[in-house]
Amino acid sequence: MTQAAPLGKIESNARHMPCHACVLRGLEKFRDFTPRELDFISGFKVNELHLPPGSTILEEQRHSAHLYTILGGWAFRYKLLEDGRRQILNFVLPGDLLGLQGSLMGEMQHSVEALTAVRLCVFERERLSELYRQFPSLAFDITWLAAREERMLDEHLLSVGRRSAIERAAYLLVFLFDRARSLQTAETGRILLPISQQHVADTLGLSIVHTNKTLRKLAERGLIRWQGRACDVLDEQGLRTISAWHDTASMNRPFI
Amino acid sequence: MTQAAPLGKIESNARHMPCHACVLRGLEKFRDFTPRELDFISGFKVNELHLPPGSTILEEQRHSAHLYTILGGWAFRYKLLEDGRRQILNFVLPGDLLGLQGSLMGEMQHSVEALTAVRLCVFERERLSELYRQFPSLAFDITWLAAREERMLDEHLLSVGRRSAIERAAYLLVFLFDRARSLQTAETGRILLPISQQHVADTLGLSIVHTNKTLRKLAERGLIRWQGRACDVLDEQGLRTISAWHDTASMNRPFI
DNA sequence: CGTCTTTTTGACCATTTTCAATCAGTGTGG
DNA sequence: CCACACTGATTGAAAATGGTCAAAAAGACG
C-alpha cells in the first residue's frame, strides 16, 4: 500500500489497458460484470492517468469535465475553511469513484489530493447520461457507490461528533485498515496506512499535538506503530474494542 | 413549519393523492416531470403515511421494505453509540428521500425520527430496479439526491470537525433556515425551526449545556430567539458572517 | 553529512464537559 | 382559572479534554 513516491510529473497517457484486464476486476470484492457492461465501460473510459503523491486531483469550486475511478494508490477528499483549517472528509482507495458530485451538480464542493502515487481511470462526464439510459445496472451501481460513501460519512460524523479523541483515532485506523485489507491480493504484504499524523489530525478534527499524544497512547498499548510516514496496525481487535466498532456485514460491491 | 402535534397514532392510509396533484410539485424548487414520469411515480407509490412527532420512521439495523419521500413535516437522521451518545447526521425536509441506503444495502445504518407531524409517500423498494430500467431520468434524479446528501454531510463534517462552537451553531441555523425557506410557499408565514437545543447539541457534537450557552450568545447579539420549542432566525446575514458561510449556487432539484 | 519534514514533549491556556440546581413554558386535572 | 407535573432552557462552579506555543528529537532524502 505504501508505494515508493515517484518523482516529477508522470502524466503518461499510459497504454489504455482494456477493462477486461483491469487489475481490480480480479478482486473478489467486486461484482462480476457482463461482457456487454465491460464493453461499454471500456468505451466510456477515455484515458488512464498516473499522478505523483501530493497532486491535486480535483479542486473545490472548479468544474471538472471528468469522472475518475481510482485504480491504484490512495487519495483523500477534503474541504478548507477560509482561514486554512482543513477537514479531511474521507479517504479514496482503489475502486472508488471520484467527481460524481461535480458531474451532477456542476461545481466541485471539495478537493481531492493524492496521498501516494495514484493511477486513475478517466471517464467522460458527458457520457454519464448515456450510461444511465443504456445500462440501468451500471446506473444502479453508481447510486450504490454514492450510498456507500454516504454511509461512511455518517459513521465518520458520528465519530467526530461523539467519540473521544482516543476512540476516534482507534476507529479511524481500523476503518482504514479494513478498507485496505478488503482490497488485498495474494502478493500484498503487510498493510501500512500511508498517512501522516497531520492527516489523522485533520480527519479527526483534532490538533496535531493532541493527535500525536493520542496515537502515542495507542502505540504504548501495543496497538499500532508509526513506521516512517505510515501507520502499522498491530492489534486490530484491540482498536475495535476501544472504538466501540460494530461490525457491518460487508457485501460484494460494484465499481465502474 | 411548526405544526401542532397530533396525538395518538395516525396511521391513516389516507386517500392516495395522485402525484400530479402533489403539493410539492408546485414549488419552483423542483424540476418539472413529464406526464410519463408522473404516471410511473404514481404507480410506484403504494401508500401515504401520517405520523406524529417523535415517531421512529426507520430504525438502524432493521430491514425496511420501503422507500419514503417526505411530503410534509421535518425529521432527522441519527446514529447512536452503544452507551447512548447520539449524533444527528442531518435533517430531513419535504422532498427528501429516505431509506435509499437500506434499499441498496439491506440493513439500515441509521435511524430516522419525526421531529414534527410528518406526511410520507411510501414506495415499494422492490420496484426500484424497474425504475432504473424504465426511467433513466428518474434514476439519475435519485443519484442526484444521493450526491446532494453527500454534499450536505461533507459540509456538516467540516463544521463539526473544524468550526468553533459558535461558528457551528451559526452555520447550522442558517443551513436549516435556508433549506426551510427554499420550500416556502406564499402562505407560509414566519419560518421557525422546529428543533430543541438538545437537537442542536446532538447535531453539533456539543454538550447540551455548552450548546445553551452558545445559543445564548447568538441570542444576545440579536441573531436568533428561542421561541417555545423552536428557533426563530432574526438575522440571517449575521449568522452567515459568523459561520464563514460561502454561498453555494442553488439549482433546481428533482424529487420523486 | 546537512536539510527538511514529521514526530515528540513540556508547560500553560482555552474550550467544553459534568454536576447540580433553578427557572420557565406547556399541558393536565381539578 | 389555579395547582401540579413535565419537559426543556438557564446558570454557576469545578474538572477534564483538547488546543497553542515553543523547541527538541528523530527520521527521511538528497
Amino acid A61: pLDDT: 86
Q: Residue B162, by phi and psi: left (phi above 0), alpha (psi -120 to 50) or beta?
A: alpha
> Which helix (H) or strand (E) is B42 found in, with range?
helix B35-44
> Of the candidates A46, A92, A40, A44, which has an alpha carbon nearest to the alpha carbon of residue A71?
A92
SS3 at position B129: helix
pLDDT digits (tens, 9 = 90+) for A76-120: 999 999 999 999 999 999 999 999 999 898 889 999 999 999 999
> CA of B225 and C1' of C12: distance in angstroms?
37
Torsion angle of alpha carbons B173, B98, B64, B193, nearest 10°? Answer: 30
Please report the number of interchain residue pairs, chain A to chain B, with beta-carbon separation below 8 angstroms. 147
pLDDT class of B252 with cuts at 50, 70, 90: low
Residue A5 has pLDDT above 50, yes or no: no
> From edge to edge, which strands make up the β-sheet containing B111-114?
B56-58, B111-114, B75-80, B86-92
Distance, CA of A168 to CA of A3 (rounded, Å): 26
As a whole number, mean pLDDT of residues A146-170 equals 98
Percentage of chain A modeled with pLDDT above 90: 69
> Of the candidates B126, B68, B109, B62, which has an alpha carbon nearest to the alpha carbon of residue B92?
B68
**A154 contacts in B (CB within 8 Å)?**
77, 79, 89, 109-110, 153
> Of the candidates A248, A181, A174, A256, which has an alpha carbon nearest to the alpha carbon of residue B106?
A248
By Cβ distance, the residue of B86, B105, B203 closest to A147 is: B105
Contact B116, B53 (CB under 8 A): yes
Distance, CA of A157 to CA of B204 (rounded, Å): 10
Amino acid B61: pLDDT: 87
Percentage of chain A modeled with pLDDT above 70: 88
pLDDT digits (tens, 9 = 90+) for B29-43: 888 899 999 999 998
φ, ψ of residue A216 in degrees (nearest 5): -60, -45
- A:5-34 Cβ neighbours of strand D under 7 Å: 5, 7
pLDDT class of A27 with cuts at 50, 70, 90: confident
Contact B209, B220 (CB under 8 A): no
**B82/A148 Cβ within 8 A:** no
Helix-helix angle A208-220:A165-182, to 10 degrees: 70
Which bases of chain D are contacted by protein, using any atom under 7 A from a CB? 8-13, 17-22, 27-30
Sign of the four-CA dihedral A12, A16, A19, A21: negative
Amino acid B73: pLDDT: 95
As a whole number, mean pLDDT of residues A58-73 equals 91
Distance, CA of B192 to CA of B181 (rounded, Å): 10
**A249/B107 Cβ within 8 A:** yes
The b/e string for B54-88 (b: 16+ C-beta within 10 A; e otherwise) is ebebbebeeebebbbbbbbbbbbbbbebeeebbbb
Q: Residue B48, by phi and psi: left (phi above 0), alpha (psi -120 to 50) or beta?
A: beta
The b/e string for A105-131 (b: 16+ C-beta within 10 A; e otherwise) is beebbbbbbbbbbbbbbbbbbeebeeb
pLDDT digits (tens, 9 = 90+) for B54-74: 999 999 988 887 999 999 999
Distance, CA of B5 to CA of B218 (rounded, Å): 28
**Residue nearest the C1' of D29 (CA based):** A5
By Cβ distance, the residue of B104, B110, B161 closest to A143 is: B104
Contact B115, B53 (CB under 8 A): yes
Task: Pinpoint the alpha helices (H) of B79-123.
Answer: 100-105
CA atoms within 13 A on the CB side of B42: 16
The model's pTM is: 0.91
SS3 at position A159: helix
B168 or A256: which leads in pLDDT: B168
Which residues are paired to B69 by β-bridges? B97, B121
Q: Which three cell numbers stand for residue A165?
A: 479523541
Q: Which three cell numbers stand for residue B81?
A: 453509540
DSSP designation for A21: G
Q: Are strands A230-233 and B56-58 parallel, antiparallel or unpaired?
A: unpaired
A211 CB contact with strand C at below 7 Å = no
φ, ψ of residue B226 in degrees (nearest 5): -90, 120
pLDDT class of A4 with cuts at 50, 70, 90: very low
pLDDT class of A159 with cuts at 50, 70, 90: very high
